[in-house]
Amino acid sequence: MRIAVIDYDRCNPDKCGNFLCERVCPVNRMGGEAIIIDEENYRPVIQEASCTGCGICVHKCPFNAITIVNLPEELEEGCVHRYGINAFVLYRLPVVKDGMVVGILGPNGTGKTTAVKALSGQIVPNLCGDNEDWDNVIRAFRGNELQNYFERLKRGEIRPVVKPQYVDLIPKAVRGKVRDLLKKADEAGKFDEVVKELELENILDREIKQLSGGELQRVAIAAAMLREAHFYFFDEPSSYLDIRQRLRVARIIRKLADSGKAVLTVEHDLAILDYMSDIIHVVYGKPGAYGIFSQPKSTRNGINEFLRGYLRDENVRFRPYEVSFTKKSERKSQEGEILVEYPRLVKDYGAFRLEAEGGTLYVGEVVGIVGPNGIGKTTFVKMLAGVEKPTEGEVDWTLTVSYKPQYIKVDYEGTVFDLLSKINAGKLMNSFYKTELLNPLGIPDLYDKKVNELSGGELQRVAITACLIRDADLYLLDEPSAHLDVEQRLAVSKAIRSLMAKNEKTALIVEHDVMMVDYLSDRLIVFEGEPGKSGRALQPMGMREGMNRFLASVGITFRRDPDTGRPRANKEGSVKDREQKERGEYYYV
């Protein structure tokens, strides 16, 4: 079975030399019609039945607009929805089960939202034909766990509730105070309970537009929890939250399922996905072209298979390399050349005071910065960057610093290419940067897009790139994982490591995703204290000591998966959790 997908946002027949694909197609040249021109819409259409799959058009199209893939025949009957001719195709769906949290793991653009739209009745799946009819859908899923679900959905018995992915957009759509919003949502009569569990007491009388990302996230989760529904979908519930808040949210989502509700969640923080899901589906395919939901898998096996890039039951390799977590308990980065010795620094805002111990940063190392929200991490980074002046201590070095803030604001009118060229055109042409940074982050595909029209994940990748192509001695990146899927998080981590090592530079990364911190960092700076009141930054320390210190302060223990070495959060009060706490080993076991 062959599918041809054309990204019409990229296709530009006038600029490729007048429908280049049609002119080079060997079938067309022999008088056939694999590619025809849709005169009305002024665009090419590939007829899958006539196309031989030679791939010539794919390689010739200067805008990489065409994807042709051969898929196994047996997938055909699993075809759930296609948005049109040469459009994105979704194969198979995740299961939805009362009393269970079903996790979804996979790249953005592979149909997770499409699946949720089908399961919530926002679209009637067309089964890749042109007939949108619930009876057909029910027939197609006969004997499948979803048959009964779709029957109930058709009868209007299923009410879905969705916590959206981009919480930053909420203030544009909703006005007023947090309390009013949540009171209005409270069909379940759980206002007090949910407000307490999500620690929202202090912000109930704030205006929505004043909230930080982490606060918006918790308000959005609360609003979903308060609705009375059958099926709850949480799209990336961890963005902007610190680790303690992430685990708290994970527990609340679990509790919702324990009360008998069906929960589906997309989550890219693997430690959190692992902690909250009963089963998971891996989604694979090509973003923008097609997506396939795997069979349901046990959470542990599913995540391990995902990291290996190989799905055993399906016998599919979807990534050429495995992701492994080396036991780098102590890297020896401290033995190299010193980049800077910074002094004790204090910042006093009145209501909040940060005291940072002095420390040394080495050339070529990546230092993770961990700690709760509101503890002064950004303030510390800004003092090092020279953006914020310390109350005590002096930053008088001549280091150049490149900084990516947590919240990325754009008021740039031009394209991604214009923006990045202005920052450092040379690096865009440099082959090392192409292979290590630009291609892995998919930046060339974004070159022609307007910066102010990018999605959250695209903007994040552009902002990270903009930070890393600047010439500087010290790179500071505040929460680079936000809005990125797992593949992109790994790509960013690899890129940062290799750029620092090769260029002999230093990076400080503020990050809450434990897997990413583990994968990325040579050493850690741990922040302790009382969020919103006072913070203390400890001097940089080794990974083992730092992780122990950090996790002890939040009361969470992690073990390592014996197969992949990835960090897994222990359930609170479990045998492992108690044993590790007794030994003071919160990590690295």
Residue 108's binding partner among ligand ADP, ligand SF4, none (Cβ under 5 to 8 angstroms by kind) is ligand ADP
CB of 509 to ligand ADP, least distance (A): 13
CB of 32 to ligand SF4, least distance (A): 8
CB of 7 to ligand SF4, least distance (A): 8
Among 3, 44, 245, 420, interactor with ligand SF4 by CB under 6 A: 44
The C-alpha torsion from 64 through 66 and 71 to 75, rounded to 10°, is 120
Per CB under 6 A, does 27 bind ligand SF4?
A: yes
Residues 240 and 213: beta-carbon distance below 8 Å: yes
H or E stretch at 497: helix 486-503
Residue 6's binding partner among ligand ADP, ligand SF4, none (Cβ under 5 to 8 angstroms by kind) is ligand SF4
- Torsion region of 292: left, alpha or beta (phi above 0 gives left; psi -120 to 50 gives alpha): beta
Helical axes 486-503 vs 456-469, angle rounded to 10°: 0
User: Which residues on neighbouring strands pair with residue 347, listed in sequence order?
Assistant: 354
CB of 415 to ligand SF4, least distance (A): 17
H or E stretch at 468: helix 456-469
Query: Which of residues 27 and 105 has its CB atom nearest to ligand SF4 in the complex?
Result: 27
Residues 543 and 366: beta-carbon distance below 8 Å: no
CB of 32 to ligand ADP, least distance (A): 27
- Of the candidates 516, 535, 554, 532, the residue with the CA atom closest to the CA atom of residue 214: 532
Query: Which of residues 32 and 532 has its CB atom nearest to ligand ADP in the complex?
Result: 532
By rule CB under 6 A, what count of residues binds ligand SF4? 26
Per CB under 6 A, does 19 bind ligand SF4?
A: yes
- Of the candidates 81, 55, 60, the residue with the CA atom closest to the CA atom of residue 2: 55
CB of 376 to ligand ADP, least distance (A): 4
If one counts every other C-beta atom within 10 angstroms of the C-beta of residue 499, the result is 19
CA distances from 277 to 33, 145, 250, 291, 481 (A): 48, 18, 9, 21, 21
HEC secondary structure over 36-90? EEECCCCEEEECCCCCCCCCHHHHHCCCCCEEEEECCHHHHHHEEEECCCCCCEE
Residues 333 and 523: beta-carbon distance below 8 Å: yes
Residue 565's binding partner among ligand SF4, ligand ADP, none (Cβ under 5 to 8 angstroms by kind) is none
Residue 110's binding partner among ligand ADP, ligand SF4, none (Cβ under 5 to 8 angstroms by kind) is ligand ADP
* Sole window of 18-26, 103-111, 342-350, 395-403 interacting with ligand SF4 (rule: CB under 6 A): 18-26
Tokens 């308000």: give the residue: 219
Residues 70 and 40: beta-carbon distance below 8 Å: no
Residue 343's binding partner among ligand SF4, ligand ADP, none (Cβ under 5 to 8 angstroms by kind) is none
Per CB under 6 A, does 57 bind ligand SF4?
A: yes
Residue 164's binding partner among ligand ADP, ligand SF4, none (Cβ under 5 to 8 angstroms by kind) is none
- CB contact burial 250-261 (16+ within 10 A = b; e otherwise): bebbbebbeeeb
Query: Which of residues 57 and 381 has its CB atom nearest to ligand SF4 in the complex?
Result: 57
Residue 68's binding partner among ligand SF4, ligand ADP, none (Cβ under 5 to 8 angstroms by kind) is ligand SF4
CB of 11 to ligand SF4, least distance (A): 3
Residue 352's binding partner among ligand ADP, ligand SF4, none (Cβ under 5 to 8 angstroms by kind) is ligand ADP
Among 63, 325, 397, 447, interactor with ligand SF4 by CB under 6 A: 63
* Sole window of 19-27, 109-117, 406-414, 427-435 interacting with ligand SF4 (rule: CB under 6 A): 19-27
CB of 303 to ligand ADP, least distance (A): 18
Query: Which of residues 49 and 173 has its CB atom nearest to ligand SF4 in the complex?
Result: 49
Binding interface with ligand ADP (CB under 6 A): 83, 87-88, 108-114, 288, 349, 352, 373-379, 532
Report angle CA 219, 493, 211 to the nearest 5 degrees: 20
- Report the C-alpha gap between 461 and 483 in whole angstroms: 9
Per CB under 6 A, does 3 bind ligand SF4?
A: no
Residue 111's binding partner among ligand SF4, ligand ADP, none (Cβ under 5 to 8 angstroms by kind) is ligand ADP
- Of the candidates 515, 441, 439, the residue with the CA atom closest to the CA atom of residue 108: 441
* Sole window of 44-52, 125-133, 311-319, 516-524 interacting with ligand SF4 (rule: CB under 6 A): 44-52
Binding to ligand SF4 (CB under 6 A) within 473-492 occurs at none
Per CB under 6 A, does 21 bind ligand SF4?
A: yes
Decide: helix, strand or coil at residue 274.
helix
Chain residues binding ligand SF4 by CB under 6 A are 6, 11-13, 16, 19-21, 25, 27, 34-35, 44, 46, 51-57, 61, 63, 65-66, 68
